[in-house]
Amino acid sequence: MNPSMAAAHRKTFVAAMAAGGGGVAIFRTGPEKVRNRDVHFPFRPDSDFWYLTAFPEPDAVAVLIAAPDGEDNGAASSDRFVLFVRPKDPEMETWHGRRAGIDGATALYGADEAHSIDDLDAELPKLLRGAARLFYRTGDAGSEDFDRKLLSSLQQMYARTRDGVTGPATIVEPGTLLHEQRLVKTADEIAVLRRASVITVEGHRAVAAALNPGMYEYELEATVNGVFRRRGGWGPGYPSIVAGGDNATILHYTENDQPIADGALLLVDAGCEVDGYTADVTRCYPASGRFTDAQKALYEVVLEAELRGIGRVAPGNTFHSVHEEARRALIEGMLAIGLLTGSLDEVLEGGADQRFFMHKTSHWLGIDVHDVGKYWTDGAEADKTSRPLQAGMVLTVEPGLYIAADDETAPEEFRGIGIRIEDDVLVTADGHEVLTGDAPKTIADVEAACAAGAGAR
C-alpha cells in the first residue's frame, strides 16, 4: 500500500474520532510468530494497523490523537500520528533485513513523531493524558501482556487525579468507527482490488490449462500460487483450496495432497493478495477437460444461483437478499434434477437444502478475506435487519452444492461431487461490477480454458 493511501485513511478515521468527542487510538501489529524452533512464519501486518499506517514491519504500535472538533484534547498537541518502531540495528539488519527505524517512520511513512518501541512504556502515558476516550481493542490473541500494561498505565493515571492528571474514562472498540470505514472502499482501494482480481484470474486460467488426470492437487496449488508471486502479489490471501473429487465436498479442504482421478471435478478456491488486499475466487474444472452429465447438471444449478445472486447486488438491496435469491435458485434447481423432493416453499421452510448447501452466499471482501463491517442494522436484537448495500462495498457471491460420497439418500450419480462458483462483486452507484468476471465460468468457457492445455493431455 502506498503510504499516501494510509494517510487518507487516517485522515478519515481521525475526523470520525473528532466528531464524536476526540480521543486517542492505539493499534498494534504483532510480532513474528515461531513456526518451529527458530523458523518463523512469513510476517503479515495486522489489518487495521496496515490500513492506517502502511508500515510493514513487526513489533510496532501506532497512536492516533484526535482533538474534539474545534478544541484541543489536552494532549501535548492535537491530531498527531505517532509510531513506535524497532530502531535501526546494523547487526540484526545484516541477518534479517533492513528496518525503517525511527527516522524512516517519519520520512517514509508520514508519522508526526516516532520513537523506539523500547520507549513505549514511558511515552504512552504522556500521549494518553487528558484524552476523553481511548480507542483500543482488548482481548486479541497474543495481546494479553500489552493489555495488562495499558490497563496498569490507566490505573496509575486514575490514581493521580488529585494532582490534576486525567486520562480516558471510556475505552471504545475502534472497529465501531474503523470497520465501517474499511467496509466502503475508496477509489485507490478498488484499484488495488482490481489488480488482485486480474492476477487471480490469470492464476485460475493457468490451473485450467495445466490440469491433467493423475496430477496431484499440490501441483495445481503450486501453479496458482506461482502465478500470484510471479505477477508481483504477496501470494495467496488465504490457504489455497485445491480439491479433487469428493475432497471438494469439504468446504475448507487444504491438505491438497491427493491425486486427481480421471473424470473427477477439481474445485479451486484461491485469491491473490496485493498490497494487503485479497481477491477470493472459486472455479471448478473437469480433469478430463469435459464435464460429465451429472457434473454438468449440478454445475448449471450452481451457476444459475450465482448469476441470480449477483443480480441482486445493487444499492438499496439488502446484503441478505443476495443469499435469499441464490438459495431460492439452488432449491429450484435441486428440485428439477431430483436432488430434493417436495415444493419450493416446503424446502425453504424446512431447510432440507442445507444438507447440500450449508453456508451463506456472501461475505465482505477487502484487506481481510472475510472483511470487516456490520451485516445487520443497529437496534434491538429483534429489530435488526440486513443492511442495505451501498456503492463502494465489495462482497463475494459464492453458492455451492456438496454431495458427500457416502450420502446414500442422494442419487448415486451426484455423490462425491462438490461445486462452488465464486466471484468478487463491487457495488456501484447504479448496480454492480463483477471484478473477477474474466475467470471462465460457463460450461463452454471452462471447457475451452481446459482445452488450452489439451496438448499436454
Average pLDDT over residues 234-246: 98
Mean pLDDT, the chain, whole residue set: 95
| Poorest-pLDDT segment among 35-44, 143-152, 208-217, 421-430 | 143-152
β-partners of residue 206 are none
- CA torsion sign, 284 to 286 to 290 to 291? negative
Active-site residue, from 402, 423, 424, 447: 402
Considering the entire predicted model, what is its pTM? Answer: 0.95
Rounded Cα–Cα distance for residues 4 and 16 (Å)? 19
Instruction: Tell me if 441 sits within 8 A of 284, measured CB to CB.
Output: no
DSSP 3-state assignment of 455? helix
Q: Which runs of E-coded beta strand occur in 340-404?
A: 394-397, 400-403
Question: Hey, what amino acid is at 108?
Answer: L
Degrees to nearest 5, angle at CA 283 with 359 and 314: 65
Q: Is 269 a catalytic residue?
A: yes
Average pLDDT over residues 22-29: 97
Average pLDDT over residues 16-30: 95
Q: Decide which of 443 and 160 is more confident.
A: 443
121 CB-side CA count, 13 A: 8
DSSP H helices, 20-71, are 47-53
Rounded Cα–Cα distance for residues 228 and 42 (Å)? 16
Active-site residue, from 217, 269, 325, 423: 269
Q: What is the pLDDT of residue 75?
A: 45
Q: Is 420 a catalytic residue?
A: yes
Predicted confidence (pLDDT) at residue 120 exceeds the cutoff of 90: yes
Q: Which of 188, 147, 190, 77 is nearest to 427 (CA)?
A: 190
- Tell me the three cell numbers of residue 269: 478456491
Degrees to nearest 5, angle at CA 38 with 33 and 41: 35
Q: What is the pLDDT of residue 284?
A: 98
Rounded Cα–Cα distance for residues 450 and 396 (Å)? 24
Average pLDDT over residues 107-124: 96
Predicted confidence (pLDDT) at residue 71 exceeds the cutoff of 70: no
Q: What is the pLDDT of residue 141?
A: 82
Instruction: Give the containing element (helix H, strand E) for 35.
Output: strand 34-36
Average pLDDT over residues 101-130: 96
Average pLDDT over residues 183-201: 98
Q: What is the pLDDT of residue 106?
A: 98
pLDDT tens-digit map of 399-429: 999 999 999 999 999 999 999 999 999 999 9
Q: Is 46 a catalytic residue?
A: no
Q: Is 402 a catalytic residue?
A: yes
Q: What is the pLDDT of residue 142?
A: 83
DSSP H helices, 338-433, are 344-350
Q: What is the pLDDT of residue 162?
A: 78
Q: Is 179 a catalytic residue?
A: no
Q: Which of 269, 308, 290, 249 is nearest to 439 (CA)?
A: 269
Give percent above pLDDT 90 in the chain: 89
Q: What is the pLDDT of residue 203?
A: 98
pLDDT tens-digit map of 379-397: 756 677 999 999 999 999 9
Active-site residue, from 35, 98, 370, 457: 370
Active-site residue, from 273, 275, 280, 423: 280
Q: What is the pLDDT of residue 153?
A: 85
pLDDT tens-digit map of 306-317: 999 999 999 999
Predicted confidence (pLDDT) at residue 239 exceeds the cutoff of 90: yes
Q: Is 40 a catalytic residue?
A: no
Phi-psi region at 64: left, alpha or beta (left = phi > 0; alpha = psi -120 to 50): beta
Is residue 140 very low, low, confident or very high in pLDDT (cuts 50, 70, 90)? confident
Q: Which residue has the cell 434434477?
A: 337
Q: Is 412 a catalytic residue?
A: no
Is residue 73 very low, low, confident or very high in pLDDT (cuts 50, 70, 90)? very low
pLDDT tens-digit map of 50-64: 999 999 999 999 999
Q: Which of 147, 106, 143, 95 is nearest to 124 (CA)?
A: 147
Active-site residue, from 48, 273, 368, 398: 398
Average pLDDT over residues 226-231: 98
Q: Is 398 a catalytic residue?
A: yes
Q: Report phi then psi at 411, rounded to 5.
A: -55, 140
Average pLDDT over residues 221-225: 98
| Poorest-pLDDT segment among 16-25, 68-77, 430-439, 443-452 | 68-77
Rounded Cα–Cα distance for residues 307 and 398 (Å)? 10
Predicted confidence (pLDDT) at residue 362 exceeds the cutoff of 90: yes
Active-site residue, from 99, 320, 355, 359: 359
Q: Which of 35, 30, 19 is nearest to 71 (CA)?
A: 19
Instruction: Tell me if 424 sits within 8 A of 274, measured CB to CB.
Output: no
Predicted confidence (pLDDT) at residue 74 exceeds the cutoff of 50: no
Give percent above pLDDT 70 in the chain: 96
Q: What is the pLDDT of residue 72?
A: 52
Active-site residue, from 420, 424, 432, 447: 420
pLDDT tens-digit map of 247-275: 999 999 999 999 999 999 999 999 999 99
β-partners of residue 419 are 401
Predicted confidence (pLDDT) at residue 163 exceeds the cutoff of 90: no
Predicted confidence (pLDDT) at residue 454 exceeds the cutoff of 70: no
